[in-house]
Structure 1
Amino acid sequence: MRPELNLSDVEIVEFAELDIAILSHRGSPRTLPLSIQNFVAWRKANQLSPVNSRTFNIIYDDPRQATETEYRFGLGVEIKSNSYALAENTHFETIPSCRCAYFRHIGSEHLLSHSLEFLFTHWLNATQNLPGKFPLFFERVSFGPQVLETEMITDIYLPLN
């Protein structure tokens, strides 16, 4: 069941600058699970557990609009220093301080597209805000297999101008 969303569900927040290590997936969304496996292995090797290091996704492209070869998706983890050995397709990046539209999504990842459509179609138009230069990003607050799919929490941040 899709949740009913209202304009009041979205808050404007100030996101503080954050350093992350990011694995860049490029290519078909169907091959994303392999990138996720590589990212999880790299995190484990560097002792960057979701318990002590925040997890992020950078949404560079809409999979419905990007070509199979151009689609980009970032898998990120909060870091305290740049002293980690980087794996293939991994680099350091900073999520900049920015004013963001913020929404907490609870439930299945399959319903995220509904929340994103609401933000981009309804909320932006109703509030006359414009997207910023940094791409949309998620903070994965709780996710499988530690929690049930219906209890997963994803914080959605849309940087604004």
Structure 2
Amino acid sequence: MKPATRARYATRIGQVLDYLYDHLDQEPDLYRLADIACLSPYHFHRIYRALMGESVAQTVRRARIHLASGELTRSNRPLPDVAQRAGYGSLAAFSRAFQQQFGTSPGRFRNHRLLALNPQESNMYPVTIRECPAFHIVALAHQGNYMKIGEAFDKLMLKCRSEGWLDESTRWLGFYYDDPATTPENELRSHAAASVSHTIMVEPPFEAMTIPAARCAVLRHTGPYSTLHDAYHWLFGHWLPQSGEQPAISPFEDYLNDPGSTPQQQLLTDIYLPLVPLAR
């Protein structure tokens, strides 16, 4: 596929992603999606998979389960309501899909959590301090619920693939600037980002940035992204006060494996907390 053709198709598939994420509670209609992409259903299916690396059904299932897991950890809505809001016609169908992804039922996940946190345990998460070199990223801003940043990551991945920016060293990163406990949900600011090997030129809404070198505390989290807030609570509520360190800027996350092919309980995320430099 020629670069110009790939870029044109990427723009069309980006419009499809807009529609999918706005209608996660509905079953995707192949003919409607193909029409949005200005493609025949035959070609749409193949081009979508080529650019996204997965089928439409896989994208929708991944997004639905991710949002549902966030609701299970942050709300007290009845399970049938969570299932319906996630686009499942019945609690049984939702439970089967959830079990496949998380290895446990939605009710058990809510009640026990895969990574239950006892704030008194000082060794709950491993933390190391590293000197982190500067690196370049391309990023896409997201505003609102952090659990909905997946759409920005999908659009960013689509852009990076269409431009040929991905290689074996690419890191997928999330930058989060506000505390959900004190900031209204619709005002939360974040960036989905991918590392690139050199400075690149991009057009809005994408942004090219350089992350400066910093001394960072790095916490390793194992488990679903929806339980990352447990790690943040421990990092800021337990480790930081006892460390004698001071944070310099907002933390960011480095996602170490593929959420599309990795069991949720095996997902690895490093939380980087840049620290104030040591006095000389």
With the shorter chain as reference, the TM-score category is 0.7 to 0.9
The one of 121, 134, 140 equivalent to 2:237 is: 121
Q: Which one has a bigger Cα radius of gyration?
A: 2
Deviations along 1:83-135, one digit per CA (max 9) or x if unpaired, are: 353352x2111221111111111111122111111110101111121111x32
The one of 3, 20, 28 equivalent to 2:137 is: 20
Q: Which runs of 5+ in 1 are unaligned?
A: none
Tell me the TM-score normalized by structure 2: 0.52
1:57 and 2:170 are equivalent in the alignment: no
Q: Which position in structure 2 is the counterpart of 1:80?
A: 197
| d(CA) in 2 for partners of 1:128, 1:28 | 31
Q: Which runs of 5+ in 2 are unaligned?
A: 1-113
Give the 3 Å change call, closer, same or farther, for CA 58–29 of structure 1 in structure 2. Answer: closer
Tell me the TM-score normalized by structure 1: 0.86
User: Alpha carbon RMSD of aligned pairs, Å?
Assistant: 2.2
Which stretch of the first structure deviates more once superposed, 33-42 or 90-99? 33-42
Give the 3 Å change call, closer, same or farther, for CA 16–41 of structure 1 in structure 2. Answer: same
Letter in 2 for 1:113: H
How many residue pairs get aligned? The number is 159
The one of 101, 110, 117 equivalent to 2:226 is: 110
Give the 3 Å change call, closer, same or farther, for CA 106–28 of structure 1 in structure 2. Answer: closer
- Matched-pair contact (CA < 8 Å) for 1:48–1:77: no
1:45 and 2:158 are equivalent in the alignment: no
Q: Which position in structure 1 is the counterpart of 2:212?
A: 96
Shift of 1:51: 4.0
- Matched-pair contact (CA < 8 Å) for 1:143–1:149: no
Shift of 1:28: 4.1
Q: Which position in structure 2 is the counterpart of 1:2?
A: 115
- Matched-pair contact (CA < 8 Å) for 1:42–1:87: no
Structure with more of its chain in helix, by fraction: 2
Classify the secondary structure of the residue corresponding to 2:139.
strand
Give the 3 Å change call, closer, same or farther, for CA 50–143 of structure 1 in structure 2. Answer: farther
Letter in 2 for 1:67: P
Deviations along 1:5-42, one digit per CA (max 9) or x if unpaired, are: 53582111111111111111123446533323322221
Q: Which position in structure 1 is the counterpart of 2:264?
A: 149
Query: Which structure would you say has the larger RCO, counting Cα contacts within 8 Å and 6 or more residues apart?
Result: 1
Structure with more of its chain in strand, by fraction: 1
Q: Report percent identity of matched pairs.
A: 25
| d(CA) in 2 for partners of 1:20, 1:115 | 25
